[in-house]
Amino acid sequence: MCGIVGYIGKETNPQIGLEALKRLEYRGYDSAGMAVFNFEKKQIYCLKCVGRISNLEDKLSNSAIFGTPFIMHTRWATTGRVNEVNAHPHSDCKGNIWVVHNGIIENYQELKEELIKEGHRFVSETDTEVLSHLIEKYFKGNLEEAVRKALKEVKGTYALVIISREDPYKIVAASLSSPLLIGINGKEYLIASDPAAIVSYTKKIINLEDNEIATITPEKFFIFKEKVPQEIELEVEDIQKEGYSHFMLKEIMEQPRSLKHSQQGRILLEEGLAKLGGLEDVKDKLKEIKRLIIVACGTAYHAGLVGEYMLEEYAGIPVEVDFGSEFRYRKPILDENTALLAISQSGETADTIAALREAKRKGILTLGIVNVVGSTVSRETDAGVYNHAGPEIGVASTKAFTSQLEVLALLTLFLGRQREMSLVMGQRIAKEILKIPELVEKVLQTRSEVKKIAEKYKDAKNFLFIGRKYNYPIALEGALKLKEISYIHAEGYGAGEMKHGPLALIDKNFPTIAILTSDSVYKKTLSNAEEIKTREGPIIAIATEGNDEIKNITEDVIYIPKTLEMLTPILSVIPLQLFSYYMGVLKGYDVDKPRNLAKSVTVE
């Protein structure tokens, strides 16, 4: 949530910072701002706007602002409404010290009251503004000294980038539970909250760790600990649209590739095994595990629900799935034979991290399935598996979700083979996982049919999504995607629950998307669909190739190829992703940046 960029070096045109900031716009896009130090005038100039970064760009091109260092921010509002005053950067009373911030200052009310009593004047409703005043309070000519003292009083999370007119040729950066990195290109430094911002500028980065404060000047940077730069595994093409009109469509269409990457080098077909390097160190402990708790949020939670069916059916491990936001407030009963698995694309979701930390406090083994390399979840878990799905920029999670499902299938194979799963069953699962990228390619060929169905139903005000067993979580995911992207009310239900209430909603204007794949629960789901048909509800089916009888009760059918039942969700979700994408586009919405949302939810 929110994006930060800072620059110090020979370049004086802030436009290069804006190019980097635009790559972070998916993390927040309510408002944006920048502060630039002009060495001739010895002044810091600030520009802010409501809305997208392009508005800030317009303001910059109409001004004569230049200089270095500069700091920038794109905001997803948490504390304080969306307006220019609340946009970052925030300054102290005299406009000497300027701060951009990601995270939350939990004790800002107390600090603000104190500072007001001491004579500080606040202009915004934000928590961030207390930081600039607190730093002002301690400033005696050395910025990092003042930052260090100020942060001792702060409770919460932060990634901070700060400049000062009275200690001008430096940037001070600090981080606690919110990512921040320094990109190094000779004597130029680009500081950002996400590697996507700097990958076209340099691949040499230093990640700031918790409680570290860095001072960066054109000559050098200084952190408390001496650290060796790492190489980031990111290519510029990964964060470009490659000819697609939206990142969401690009990410849906690249799933054959992302799924190939997620399984690459991880399947031993002959032995019917999954080779998961990140679990090697804990493999003996995993043999002893008698119970697994999965924690996640949103789409990753739906992946966890599919994982529950896989792991219970094939690995014989009892699984419980909980929202990060609920687990953190429960009093879970945990013992030494329980492990916790956190699933997160970003690895930065605050509720998932809080649940993980709670489990660590209780001393149980913690695991992660994470896409972003080096993220908080990946650093704080005992062991885990990376998705290797590549960066996901669209706010709606698509390729990360299918990759999570694939990794869960690999984990099932890994844990299953440690237990009762036979060699033959292991080989069968391994063989089917290997085929997945090719089958996904085939499902993507339904793209134009799905688009026509979206055109037909674009005026519908409500949708139901139903499925059973492995496809129950897919019904939830289909509904979430549609809400998120097209702002249409949608409900996901276990098909068997229809007659316990939701059936009352059904009439000829209330369409249902039914996942009716040929599997162990097909007949049951079919009879639930028939009950809808009897009440004149239009049905759009996702069915298995070769099933012609389904046409008798449905308005429209999208066919997907046959696979092992536990892998069906990877295929059945794809038409639903495409459907929500086209519905959003037909309605004229910005599908990559849906209103009120942000890519990674780093606040509770």
Residue 397 as a binder of ligand M6R (CB under 6 A): the answer is yes
| Strands, E assignment, 426-487 | 462-467
Distance from CA of residue 29 to its chain's centroid? 15
Active site residue 2: yes
CB of 147 to ligand M6R, least distance (A): 29
CB of 516 to ligand M6R, least distance (A): 24
| Amino acid letter, residue 194 | D
Residue 345 as a binder of ligand M6R (CB under 6 A): the answer is yes
| Interface characters, 249-288, with ligand M6R (x: CB under 6 A) | ----------------------------------------
Residue 486 as a binder of ligand M6R (CB under 6 A): the answer is no
Residue 297 as a binder of ligand M6R (CB under 6 A): the answer is yes
Residue 416 as a binder of ligand M6R (CB under 6 A): the answer is no
Torsion of CA 110, 112, 114, 116, to 10 degrees: -150
Stretch of residues binding ligand M6R (CB under 6 A), selected from 92-100, 277-285, 338-346, 408-416: 338-346
Q: Phi and psi at residue 142, in whole multiples of 5°? A: -120, 115
Question: How open is the CA angle 417-421-427, to the nearest 5 degrees?
Answer: 75
Residue 390 as a binder of ligand M6R (CB under 6 A): the answer is no
With CB under 6 A as the contact rule, the residue among 349, 525, 577, 602 that binds ligand M6R is 349
Residue 484 as a binder of ligand M6R (CB under 6 A): the answer is yes
Binders of ligand M6R in range 162-191 (CB under 6 A): none
CB of 339 to ligand M6R, least distance (A): 19
- Total residues binding ligand M6R (CB under 6 A): 15
Residue (of 119, 116, 98) closest to 108 by Cα position = 116
CB of 486 to ligand M6R, least distance (A): 13
Residue (of 132, 74, 126) closest to 104 by Cα position = 126
Stretch of residues binding ligand M6R (CB under 6 A), selected from 89-97, 296-304, 514-522, 539-547: 296-304
Structure tokens at 259: 């799924």
Binders of ligand M6R in range 448-467 (CB under 6 A): none
Residue 298 as a binder of ligand M6R (CB under 6 A): the answer is yes
Q: Phi and psi at residue 514, in whole multiples of 5°? A: -110, 130
d(CA 110, CA 116): 10
With CB under 6 A as the contact rule, the residue among 232, 396, 513, 573 that binds ligand M6R is 396
**Active-site option among 22, 48, 399, 599:** 599
Which residue do the tokens 């007119």 mark? 165
d(CA 81, CA 125): 7
Residue 580 as a binder of ligand M6R (CB under 6 A): the answer is no
Q: Cβ closer to ligand M6R: 563 or 602?
A: 602
Active site residue 297: no
Residue 102 as a binder of ligand M6R (CB under 6 A): the answer is no
Residue 385 as a binder of ligand M6R (CB under 6 A): the answer is no
Residue 352 as a binder of ligand M6R (CB under 6 A): the answer is yes
Residue (of 266, 270, 444) closest to 369 by Cα position = 266
- Per the rule left: phi > 0, alpha: psi between -120 and 50, beta: everything else, 272 is left
Q: Cβ closer to ligand M6R: 372 or 529?
A: 372
Exposure b/e, 237-260, CB count within 10 A at least 16 = b = eebebeeeebbbbbbbbbbbebbb
Continuous segment of H or E residues that includes residue 519: none
CB of 302 to ligand M6R, least distance (A): 8
d(CA 482, CA 260): 26
Stretch of residues binding ligand M6R (CB under 6 A), selected from 166-174, 294-302, 415-423, 576-584: 294-302
**Active-site option among 2, 46, 49, 297:** 2
Residue (of 260, 324, 268, 275) closest to 570 by Cα position = 260
CB of 329 to ligand M6R, least distance (A): 18
d(CA 366, CA 506): 44
d(CA 72, CA 386): 31
With CB under 6 A as the contact rule, the residue among 300, 350, 526, 571 that binds ligand M6R is 300
CB of 347 to ligand M6R, least distance (A): 7
- The residue whose Cβ lies closest to ligand M6R is 298
| Amino acid letter, residue 435 | K
Residue (of 239, 182, 242, 237) closest to 215 by Cα position = 182
Residue 24 as a binder of ligand M6R (CB under 6 A): the answer is no
> Which ranges in 362-422 belong to alpha helices (H)?
376-380, 399-418
Q: Cβ closer to ligand M6R: 342 or 543?
A: 342
- Contact 371/403 with Cβ under 8 angstroms? yes
Residue 373 to residues 19, 345, 385, 420, Cα–Cα distance (Å): 23, 10, 10, 32
Q: Cβ closer to ligand M6R: 96 or 349?
A: 349
Residue 74 as a binder of ligand M6R (CB under 6 A): the answer is no
Residue 264 to residues 272, 307, 350, 451, 467, Cα–Cα distance (Å): 15, 20, 30, 32, 30
CB of 487 to ligand M6R, least distance (A): 14
Residue 344 as a binder of ligand M6R (CB under 6 A): the answer is yes
CB of 505 to ligand M6R, least distance (A): 24
Residue 316 to residues 291, 336, 348, 511, 566, Cα–Cα distance (Å): 10, 18, 30, 37, 14
Residue 512 as a binder of ligand M6R (CB under 6 A): the answer is no
Q: Where in the sequence numbering do the catalytic residues fall?
A: 2, 599
Chain contacts with ligand M6R (rule: CB under 6 A): 297-300, 344-346, 349, 352, 395-397, 484, 600-601
